[in-house]
Chains A and B, each alone.
Chain A
Amino acid sequence: MMALLIRDLRLAVRAGGGFGLGLAFFLIVTVLVPFAVGPQSDLLARIAPGVLWLGALLSCLLSLDRLLALDWEDGSLDLLATAPLPLEAVISIKALAHWITTGLPLVLAAPLLGVLLNLPLDGYRWLVVSLLLGTPALSVIGTFGAALTVGLKRGGLLLSLLVMPLYVPTLIFGAEAARRGAMGMGVETPLLMLAGISAGVIALMPFASAAVLRINLR
């Protein structure tokens, strides 16, 4: 399993691996929002947590269609399915590799980009905490979407449409936690809900993903 994780991380940082794609998109969104909204710092401060969360979610979505499609195209998915690793483990490792190459950089970049959006000082801690808790759920749910659409040519559109509604609860509670944190209110309830969603999908989603992948590999 470590071998698969190391391979995926290595592939992500080599030429053509797509590492940084999500990060660049996140940067573009958050840099452009102040231009689009106008220089009203109080308004920016109010929308900053939501914009940062939305940017992180869309960046995650952007990189999903490569998650399994590349392994499908070169045939390694077939070979992995006949390897001693259970498909559930393969899927979980793929989601973990996606989180490390996409989710984690977003979490680390978010505080820097918060400055551009005039995020209140109290908000930084809770923004990072909520992203840290929420982005694993985005990767795991996204892997399910990728497993559903693997083998479809240009499956990216269908993938986005399928994954979008599943992302809504994570977005609601994640952005709510960050917003309440920024406004100095209690964040326990949305954070607990967010942690619950993440823990639930990490525990259950790999089974669903492996099941649809088995059907798609036939």
Chain B
Amino acid sequence: MSLNVSDLCIARGGLPVLEGVSFILRPGGALILRGPNGIGKTTLLRSIAGLQPPLGGEVRGGEDRIAYSAHSDGLKSALTVTENLQFWASVFGTRSIEAALAAYDLTALHDRPAGTLSAGQKRRLGLSRMLVTGRPIWVMDEPTVSLDQASVALFAAAVQAHLASGGLALIATHIDLGLAADVLDLGPYRAKPLALDDFDGAFL
């Protein structure tokens, strides 16, 4: 099943940032979002993941099928790598985490507390969470931040494998991942400044 985004209008802090965003993402397809800082990439991804309601338009086909990866990885520094990943695996109802650890070359680090990992290693652990969700749509916000070149290659391979198994990926990134993916530049969708008539709406 594909992910249909039609005429989506989204706001940050009560002010519209993007309007008229439409695309269809089919199984096996990936879409790279580009655009300057502040254009609303994160807000768009959060809206698609269901964390905030859009001002207008709709997202179809995303209910309970999206795995969302944010700027922060949601790791607990007092827990080990295995415990962190095992927690998310149990929440999403998947059993094995070995494949996810292996995919991001974390097997050797499995009993280290997450707090002692480097920034890049933490990021890899955060990304490996996507593999244990078992969900078909990956919505990822700047996944390659603080990754070195080898780790970016690991990430690209993981996305490639996910797409090959019929998954979908929506990725906001500035670097070239070497994926056969469509690119959506958000620049043209920038919302026109709007006179605020709904004062309360800005707070809700």
Contact = CB atoms under 8 A, between A and B. Distances in A.
A6 to B, nearest CB: 8
A11 to B, nearest CB: 6
Interface in B68-84: 68-79, 83
A33 to B, nearest CB: 34
Given A10-B83, A75-B71, A217-B51, A83 B78 contact: no
A16 B79 CA distance: 11
Interface string B54-92: 000000000010111111111111110001001110111
Interface in A193-218: 215, 217-218
Given A10-B79, A79-B70, A218 B91 contact: no
Nearest to B49: A82
Contact of A79 (B50, B53, B74, B77): B74
Interface in A160-218: 215, 217-218
Given A7-B76, A74-B76, A81 B51 contact: yes
Contacts of B86: 3
Nearest to B67: A82
Contact of B91 (A11, A15, A84): A84
A78 B86 CA distance: 18
B73 A11 contact: no
B91 A82 contact: no
Nearest to B89: A3
A75 B70 CA distance: 7
A156 B1 CA distance: 45
B87 A82 contact: no
Interface in A1-59: 2-4, 7, 10-11, 14-17
Nearest to A79: B74
A78 B93 CA distance: 18
A16 B77 CA distance: 10
A15 B51 contact: no
Contacts of A81: 51
A75 B74 contact: yes
B96 interface: no
Interface of A is mostly: helix
A85 interface: yes
B78 A74 contact: no
Given A75-B71, A82-B67, A83-B91, A7 B79 contact: yes
A77 B93 CA distance: 18
B65 to A, nearest CB: 11
Contact of B76 (A2, A11, A80): A11
A184 B31 CA distance: 73
Contacts of B93: 84
A15 B51 CA distance: 31
B90 to A, nearest CB: 3
B124 to A, nearest CB: 16
A3 B78 contact: no
A16 B52 CA distance: 32
Nearest to A81: B51
Closest 9 CB pairs between A and B? A75-B72, A3-B90, A76-B74, A14-B78, A218-B52, A79-B74, A75-B74, A82-B68, A7-B87
21 contacts: A3-B90, A7-B76, A7-B79, A10-B79, A11-B78, A14-B78, A71-B74, A75-B74, A76-B74, A77-B74, A78-B70, A79-B74, A79-B129, A80-B74, A82-B50, A82-B67, A82-B68, A84-B64, A217-B51, A218-B51, A218-B52
Given A74-B77, A218-B46, 17 more contacts: A3-B86, A74-B72, A74-B73, A74-B74, A74-B75, A74-B76, A75-B71, A75-B73, A76-B76, A78-B51, A78-B74, A82-B66, A82-B67, A82-B68, A83-B92, A84-B64, A217-B52
